Amino acid sequence: MDTTNHVFTKAYFNQTFVDPVAAAFLVLMIILIFVLPRKYACWPMFAIASFIPQAQRLSLATLDFTFFRILTCFALLRVLFRGEFQRFKWNGLDTAVIGFMGIRLLWSILKLTKGGNSVTSPLSLCGDALDMWGMYFFFRFVVRDLEDLKHATYGLIWLSIPVAALMVVEFVTLRNPFAFMSGNPDVTRSREGVLRCMGAYSNPILTGCFWAVLLPYMGAFIRQRGRIKFMPLVGIVCSAVIIILSGSSSPIAAAGLAFFGGCAFLIRKRMRLIRWGTFIVVAGVQLMANSPIWKVFARVKIVGGSTGYYRFKLIDQFIQHWKEWILVGSARGTSTWAIPMFDIVNYYVALGLAGGILFVGALVWMIVAAYRNCGIAMKTVKGNPEMELIAWATGVAIFAHMMTFLAVTYFGQIIMVWFFSLAVTGIRNSSPIGQRGFSVLTGRMHADPLSRLAAKPAMPYSQPARVSYR
């Protein structure tokens, strides 16, 4: 089996690609990640993802250090030196994140010790574990409450402006502005007459999906303290430009799912009924229909050149050959299928072929734990619709990722967005509103007015001054 991720990795494995401009930008981001206040600490990570191709890396003794990985190491050093981990509180998602990557790493080592073949080497998985655990816990340490999420979102909004502008330049000139750094093609490619701009990202589809799954955060901050804010609207428009110019159906579908997920906030009190109703309807349609429900992918064609039928056949063949992979994965991959398919554009399928139902279950474990975090965050701001919407947006982003996994296998810069989305589901108030006067917007503890009055020493009683009516 060989996925797009592995093809990309092998193309630059054990090779050093360092452009002087990219190196200078990395040094600047390292400096900023140490000097910026905590509320802006995420911005250098977002900037590296947006402006540096993933091929930029240092190779030392067969160890690949992408610029992302280098910045992650310095980000963890910042957290250590500043003691920003001290207020950290462990939750179930943290365990799931550790377990997901730990299971994959141990499974790969076990296969090697028994003489089997592993899809990804333990050394490569160690690098992936550093990326996942490093980025995830860095975001957990520095994005603590809804105010921190607001600052992080505004960083993405500001970055969306130059990214959209460079995408327009690429669309007009048919030249990728980042091609000089290595890793991205110089000439913008097209499919069935549709240009597919990609900017600094690893693939046009991932370019669009990167910004599609960020839309829930921008939408959540449109209305604040009863007023409509301008900058979130700018971010949404710029993200839409990027999504459209990527020339791919998957990002547009992800953006549509994010929009409907945000609209579901209006009926949030009926979500249990809606979830069960949707499940019953889907199950009923599957029982009565002549074709499987996942054949809907074959009918999805939003942009010319879409490969919906390929995605349908990938899922269909995966399910039909379940005996080959369900226990320990499949070392032969798709070679035994009726239609060998080597571009595994489905994250669930990629995990199933790599490690069986255990790997798929580990991913579902993370998703369920993330949704549970979102529910807790909703409860901590109950009664404040604007704050509830922000907490709701963290769940909508997870939903967008979950559905995007059906059509895309993540690699490159978009993995940062996935780890960020997981991490911010853990933000919540230290105590419910109304207790100890916790302010959601500022994150400061204010003494309750009644407690202040009770703590104030009583004034000695004195007769009121006499009033003369003369």
- Model confidence pLDDT, tens digit, residues 126-146: 888 999 999 999 999 999 888
Determine contact, residues 378/360, Cβ cutoff 8 Å. Answer: no
Q: Does residue 73 register a pLDDT over 60? A: yes
Cα separation, 391 vs 374, in Å, equals 6
pLDDT, greater one: 381 or 11? 381
CA 324 to chain centre: 31
- Beta-carbon count within 10 A of 254 CB: 27
Strand partners, 187: 175
Whole-angstrom distance between the N-terminal and C-terminal Cα of the chain?
Answer: 103
- Model confidence pLDDT, tens digit, residues 173-223: 999 999 888 778 888 888 878 889 999 998 899 999 999 999 999 999 998
Cα separation, 458 vs 439, in Å, equals 28
Give the per-residue pLDDT at 225: 83
- Model confidence pLDDT, tens digit, residues 143-176: 988 889 999 999 999 999 999 999 999 999 999 9
Residue 38: exposed, middle, or buried by beta-carbon count in 10 A (0-12, 13-18, 19+)? middle
Q: Does residue 465 register a pLDDT over 60? A: no
The encoded tokens of residue 32 equal 């900023």
Report which listed range, 34-43, 82-91, 308-317, is most confident.
Answer: 34-43
Cα separation, 104 vs 114, in Å, equals 16
Confidence of residue 459 (pLDDT cuts 50, 70, 90): very low
Strand partners, 191: 194
Cα separation, 153 vs 441, in Å, equals 14
Q: How far is CA 307 from CA 8, 98, 210, 321, 334, in A?
A: 20, 34, 19, 22, 18
Q: How far is CA 118 from CA 231, 233, 319, 410, 429, in A?
A: 47, 46, 21, 19, 43
The encoded tokens of residue 257 equal 């799912």
- Beta-carbon count within 10 A of 296 CB: 11
3-state SS, residue 162:
helix
What does the DSSP 8-state code read for residue 465?
P
Place of tokens 């592995």: 6
Confidence of residue 92 (pLDDT cuts 50, 70, 90): very high
Give the per-residue pLDDT at 243: 96
Angle among Cα 393, 422, 258 to the nearest 5 degrees reads 35
- Model confidence pLDDT, tens digit, residues 350-389: 999 988 999 999 999 999 999 999 999 988 888 888 899 9
Angle among Cα 61, 66, 72 to the nearest 5 degrees reads 110
Give the per-residue pLDDT at 155: 96
Give the per-residue pLDDT at 14: 67
Confidence of residue 429 (pLDDT cuts 50, 70, 90): low
Question: Could you give the count of Cα atoms lying within 13 Å of 347 in the half-sphere of its Cβ?
Answer: 17
Q: What is the 3-class SS of 248-302, one letter each residue?
A: CHHHHHHHHHHHHHHHHHHHHHHHHHHHHHHHHHHHHHHHHCCCCHHHHHHHCCC
Report which listed range, 291-305, 393-407, 442-456, is most confident.
Answer: 393-407
Rounded-to-10 torsion of CA 84, 86, 92, 94: 40
Mean pLDDT of the chain: 84
Cα separation, 395 vs 277, in Å, equals 19
Q: Does residue 434 register a pLDDT over 50? A: no
Confidence of residue 333 (pLDDT cuts 50, 70, 90): confident
Give the per-residue pLDDT at 288: 82
Cα separation, 465 vs 181, in Å, equals 83
Collect contacts of 60-68 with beta carbons under 8 A, ≥24 apart: 62/14, 62/123, 63/123, 63/127, 64/12, 64/13, 64/14, 64/127, 67/22, 67/26, 68/131, 68/135, 68/413, 68/416
Give the per-residue pLDDT at 435: 37
Q: Which of 10-14, 228-232, 296-300, 319-323 has the lowest mean pLDDT?
A: 10-14
Give the per-residue pLDDT at 13: 67
Q: How far is CA 25 from CA 29, 185, 284, in A?
A: 6, 21, 55
Q: Which of 60-64, 158-162, 266-270 has the lowest mean pLDDT?
A: 60-64
Q: Does residue 7 register a pLDDT over 60? A: no
Give the per-residue pLDDT at 177: 92
Cα separation, 393 vs 401, in Å, equals 12
Determine contact, residues 387/360, Cβ cutoff 8 Å. Answer: no
Determine contact, residues 441/433, Cβ cutoff 8 Å. Answer: no
- Beta-carbon count within 10 A of 106 CB: 12
Domain segments of the chain as ranges: 7-424
Give the per-residue pLDDT at 52: 92
